[in-house]
Amino acid sequence: MRSNRVLALIVAAIVAVGAAYAAAPYARAASLFVRVANVGGRVEAFVDARARDVEVEAPHLVPTRQGEVRAQFYRPSGSVRRSVLLVPGVHSMGIAEPRLTALASDLAGSGITVMALALPDLLEYQITARSADVIEDAAAWMAARPDLAPDGRVGIVGISFAGGLAIVAAGREPIRDKVAFVVSFGGHGDLARVLRYLATGEAVQAPGVVTHPPHDYGVAVILYAAADRVVPPSQVEPLREGIATFLLASQLTLVDADQANATFANAREMVKGLPEPSATYLTYVNDRNVQALGPVLVPHLGLEADPAASPESAPSQPSAPVFLLHGDGDTVIPTAESVVLGDYLRGKGADVRVLISQIITHAELDRTAALSETWKLISFWADVLRL
C-alpha cells in the first residue's frame, strides 16, 4: 500500500533526525498513530521495535467523592516524565472496553504512564457533573504521587462525553496547577446542545463543518436516563433493562459479531414482555428509529442537561493547554462542538489547539485517510507529547 510505504519513510526520517527516540515528540506521535491505526506490515513492525514495553498492572481503586473507583495502570519500561489519566465515555465495559485498552497500551508504549479510569455515572449511561468530580479527584490523587508526577502535574485525556467533563475538571481551582494538558477526543462544549442534536438532528453551526444525522446510540442513552419521566413507575426498570441490552449489543459489535447479534435478538424479544408505552419505546430503540423516538425525548432534555457538566458553563477554564480532537463526520457529538468550544475557550484566554480530522470517526481511527491528514494528526499528538 503506497500510503503505508510513504508513512514508513516519514517515520524513519523523523527517527533518524531526532536526538533520541524517547525525546522526539514527532517520532513518538508517528509511532502512536501507526500502532493505534493498526496499519500492519513493515510500517507497524518498524515502530513496534522502537516502542516501550508496557506492563499492564492489576486493577486498583482510587478514592473519590463518589467512592472508590476502579482504575488500571499501563506502565512503560524505562524512565517516565509524564503520566496521563485516560477516561472513557459512555460505555458499560468501562476500563475493559477493547478500544480503550488498546489506546492505553499504545499511549504507554510512547513513554507515558497511563491510568485508565471509568466514571461510575457514565458506566450507568448518565452524563452528570459528578463525573467531573471524579476526574478532579483522580487527577489530584495522581499528581500527589512523585512516581507518577515528578513535577506535580499530570495530563488528562477524555474520550467522547468524558472529553468535555475533563475540561470542566481541569479548570477547577484545586487542580488547575496540577494539570499539564487536557485532551478532549470527540468531546462536547455544551451538553444541552448535544442532547438536542441527538434528539432532533439540529446542531450548532461552524464554518466549513458539515452536520450529519445523529447516531441512534444517543437517543437510546437519553431514553435510559429519562425513563422515569416517560413511562409509569412500574415500567421504568423493565424498560431500562431492555435499553441496556440493546446498548450492550451495540458495544459488542466491535468485539464479537455473533454475541452482538444474539444480544440484539434478546433485546427484541424483551419487547414482548413490556406493556405500553414501554413496548413502543423499546421497539423504537431496537429499530434505531431516531425520528420517532427523538420527539418523545425533546420535552425532557432540559432535565438531562446539567449545565455544570458543560465546559462552556464552567466558572473557570484550564490554565494548561487544551487540545480538542474531533472527527469531521462525528454522529454522536457533532464536530462543530469542538470548533465552537475552541473559540469560546480562546475568548476566555485559554491556550487551545483544535484539529478536525478526516481520519477519526467518533473516537476511533480510519487508517485509509490521505497522507496529509495523517501528518496533521501526528503533529497534533507531537504537541501533546512534548508537554
Task: Judge contact between 223 and 230, C-beta under 8 A.
Answer: yes
What distance in Å separates the CA atoms of residue 218 and residue 304, rounded to the nearest whole number?
13
Pairwise pLDDT comparison (152 vs 366), residue with the higher score? 152
Q: Residue 44's closest CA among 27, 29, 56, 32?
A: 32
For residue 318, pLDDT beyond 60: yes
- Please report the pLDDT score of residue 17 as a whole number: 39
Q: Are residues 269 and 314 in the same domain?
A: no
What the block records as the C-alpha cell of 13 is 526520517
Helix (H, G, I), strand (E, B) or coil at 123: helix
What pLDDT was estimated at residue 365?
59
pLDDT by residue (tens digit) across 34-71?
555 555 555 455 555 557 899 999 999 999 999 999 99
Q: How confident is the model at residue 134 (pLDDT cuts 50, 70, 90)?
A: very high
Segment 119-139 mean pLDDT: 96
pLDDT at 15: 45
- 254 and 116 within one domain: no
**122 with 137, same domain?**
yes
335 lies in a domain?
A: yes
Closest CA to 8 of 52, 44, 36, 48: 44
What are the grid coordinates assigned to 202, written together?
439540529
Q: How far apart are CA 365 and CA 360, in angstroms?
A: 5
273-283 confidence digits (pLDDT tens) = 999 999 999 99
Instruction: Report the distance separating Cα 236 and Cα 278, nearest Å.
Output: 8
Query: Does residue 246 contact residue 267 with C-beta atoms inside 8 Å?
Result: yes
Mean pLDDT of 221-239: 97
The CA distance from 271 to 278, in Å, is 8
On whether both 181 and 222 belong to a single domain, the answer is no
Residues of the chain with pLDDT > 70, as a percent, come to 84
If you average pLDDT over residues 219-248, what whole number do you get? 97
Helix-strand-coil split of the chain, %, nearest 5: 55, 15, 35
Question: How much is the mean pLDDT over the chain?
Answer: 88
Look up residue 186 and give its amino acid.
Answer: G
Does residue 378 or residue 61 have the better pLDDT? 61
Q: In angstroms, how far is CA 100 from the centroid of its own chain?
A: 9
At 118, list the grid cell. Answer: 471509568
Asked if the model's pLDDT at residue 178 lies above 80, the reply is yes
330 lies in the same domain as 347: yes
Q: What average pLDDT does this structure show over 236-261?
A: 95
The answer on 314 and 182 residing in a single domain is: yes
Q: Which residue has the higher pLDDT, 111 or 343?
A: 343
Q: Which of 237, 269, 304 is where one domain is finished?
A: 304
Q: What is the pLDDT of residue 379?
A: 85
- The answer to whether 34 and 3 have CB atoms below 8 angstroms apart is no
Number of domains in the chain: 2
Domain that holds residue 365: 54-190+310-385
Can you give the pLDDT at residue 13?
Answer: 45
What whole-number distance in Å separates Cα of residue 148 and Cα of residue 84?
9
pLDDT in the model for residue 255: 86
Instruction: Name the β-bridge partners of 327.
Output: 357
Say if residue 334 is in the same domain as residue 365: yes
Tell me, what's the pLDDT at 26? 55
Q: What is the mean pLDDT of residues 201-230?
A: 95
Residue 169's closest CA among 132, 194, 202?
132
- More reliable by pLDDT, 304 or 167: 167
Least confident of 1-15, 29-43, 54-68, 74-88: 1-15
Q: How far apart are CA 368 and CA 360, in angstroms?
A: 10
Q: CB-based burial of residue 363 (10 Å sphere; 0-12 exposed, 13-18 middle, 19+ buried)? A: buried
Claim to verify: residue 294 and residue 316 sit in the same structural domain: no
Is 44 a member of any domain?
Answer: no
pLDDT score, position 14: 43
What are 73's strand-pairing partners?
115
Are residues 239 and 141 part of one domain?
Answer: no
pLDDT given for residue 359 in this prediction: 83
Q: Which of 237, 272, 304 is the last residue of a domain?
A: 304
The amino acid at residue 237 is E
Mean pLDDT along residues 186-196: 96
376 band by pLDDT with thresholds 50, 70 and 90: confident
- pLDDT for 39: 52
- One domain for residues 107 and 176: yes
- Percent over 90 (pLDDT), the chain: 74
The pLDDT assigned to 12 comes to 45
The larger pLDDT score, comparing residue 16 to residue 365, is at 365
What value does the mean pLDDT take over residues 295-308? 90
